């Protein structure tokens, strides 16, 4: 049985991840921690968790806790992941792995030194929707893929206008960068899973809207080890009421279009016609990845597809595109 302790129990743990830790066979949540003691207590009571803390070290050193889930902003991921591994406890970290490529390397060094694994919440690698995309690519339905293009644009969120109370996702010290780090990480990690590692990357970033200090507009280009060429454009100051969420794969025999967050029908276009594919997500979207981690830790499965080592490559690509030191 894997007994989980959560460091951080905010919104992501309410439905996306938290319930899955108790639904998966051989797994349960025994403790949660949040710096706000009342919020930690409230979460524990609502979700039937018997222990709560307002101190991360106390949770990590709780002898009943055998594995740690870090669900805090990226700025503290390295600190908590390293502390958990040094305590001999496997750790599952929200994405991105850390607030910089350099911090990712620190996490990997400790994982290697201690022999304790670190997993990362790039759960799209396990969702039926993207496994269908992978199956279509691997089947040769597109022929030899030449290019992949990401187009992503969202209008500002209401909280982005609250200059005195901005969300943590646009504070560099907490998030590593802006919404690009939070959302593009899913896309870039997924593409590496589908097409092979990204070997070269560069880009430009700007702040167009002036709502906060970090970038809100990004353009990037990258090359995969497989020879595929990729590009992406990201805007987080698109017009109100609009949304673009598209990934296009173009091959010598066909074109495939999907989305990252909207899960719109997968569209395959070939000379033989157009096909659409619809796949269902689990109720708790991180379920399948968490299940694979629990099975592995219980000695019943292979190494999960998302580890600190695969996730580090994603941070490298993002930092290259943003022109940050790597």
pLDDT tens, 206-222? 999 999 999 999 999 99
Residue 326 is predicted with a pLDDT of 60
Query: Model-level pTM greater than 0.85?
Result: yes
Query: Residue 149: inside a domain, yes or no?
Result: yes
Q: What does the pLDDT look like over 215-258, one tens digit per residue?
A: 999 999 999 999 999 999 999 999 999 999 999 999 999 999 99
272 with 154, same domain?
yes
Q: Is residue 258 part of a domain?
A: yes
- Span 193-216, average pLDDT: 98
Same domain, residue pair 90 and 156: no
Q: Indicate if 98 and 137 belong to the same structural domain.
A: no
Mean pLDDT to the nearest integer, 261-285: 97
Residues 126-158: pLDDT tens digits?
A: 999 999 999 999 999 999 999 999 999 999 999
Residues 293 and 254 in one domain: no
Q: Which residue range forms the structural domain that includes residue 258? A: 128-280
Average pLDDT for 101-111: 98
Domain identity same for 114 and 158: no
- Shared domain check, 273 and 158: yes
Both 97 and 135 in one domain: the answer is: no
* Count of domains for the chain: 2
CATH for 222:
3.30.360.10
Residue 324 domain-assigned (yes or no): no
Residues 304 and 239 in one domain: no
Q: What is the 3-state secondary structure (H, E, C) of the chain?
A: CEEEEEECCCHHHHCCCCCHHHHCCCEEEEEEECCCHHHHHHHHHHHCCCEEECCHHHHHCCCCCCEEEECCCHHHHHHHHHHHHHCCCCEEECCCCCCCHHHHHHHHHHHHHHCCCEEECCHHHHCHHHHHHHHHHHCCCCCCEEEEEEEEECCCCHHHHCHHHCCHHHCHHHHCCCHHHHHHHHHHHHHHHHHCCEEEEEEEEECCCCCCCCCCEEEEEEEECCCCEEEEEEECCCCCCCCEEEEEEEECCCEEEECCCCCCCEEEEECCEEEEECCCCCCCCCHHHHHHHHHHHCCCCCCCCCEHHHHHHHHHHHHHHHCCCC
């Amino acid at each position: 049985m894997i007994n989980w302790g959560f460091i951080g129990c905010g919104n992501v743990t309410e439905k996306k991840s938290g319930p899955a830790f108790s639904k998966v066979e051989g797994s349960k949540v025994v403790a949660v921690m949040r710096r706000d003691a009342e919020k930690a207590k409230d979460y524990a009571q609502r979700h039937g968790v018997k222990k709560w803390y307002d101190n991360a070290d106390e949770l990590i050193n709780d002898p009943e806790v055998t594995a740690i889930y870090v669900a805090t902003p990226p700025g503290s991921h390295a600190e908590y992941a390293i502390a958990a591994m040094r305590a001999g406890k496997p750790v599952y970290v929200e994405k991105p792995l850390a607030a910089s490529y350099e911090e990712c390397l620190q996490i990997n060094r400790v994982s290697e030194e201690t022999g304790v694994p670190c997993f990362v919440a790039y759960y799209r690698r396990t969702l039926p929707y993207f496994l269908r995309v992978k199956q279509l690519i691997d089947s040769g339905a597109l022929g030899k893929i030449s290019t992949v293009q990401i187009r992503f644009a969202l209008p500002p969120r209401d909280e982005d206008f609250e200059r005195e109370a901005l969300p943590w996702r646009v504070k560099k010290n907490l998030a590593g960068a802006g919404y690009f780090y939070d959302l593009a990480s899913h896309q870039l990690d997924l593409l590496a899973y589908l097409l092979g590692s990204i070997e070269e990357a560069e880009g430009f970033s700007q702040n167009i809207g002036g709502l906060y200090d970090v970038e809100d507009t990004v353009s990037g280009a990258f090359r995969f080890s497989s020879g595929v060429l990729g590009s992406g454009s990201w805007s987080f100051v698109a017009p109100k009421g609009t949304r673009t969420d598209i990934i296009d794969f173009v091959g010598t025999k066909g074109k495939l279009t999907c989305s990252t967050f909207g899960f719109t029908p997968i569209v395959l276009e070939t000379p033989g016609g157009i096909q659409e594919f619809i796949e269902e997500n689990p109720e708790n979207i991180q379920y399948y990845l968490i299940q694979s981690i629990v099975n592995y830790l219980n000695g019943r499965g292979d190494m999960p597809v998302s580890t600190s080592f695969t996730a580090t490559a994603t941070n490298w690509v993002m930092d290259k595109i943003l022109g940050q030191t790597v």
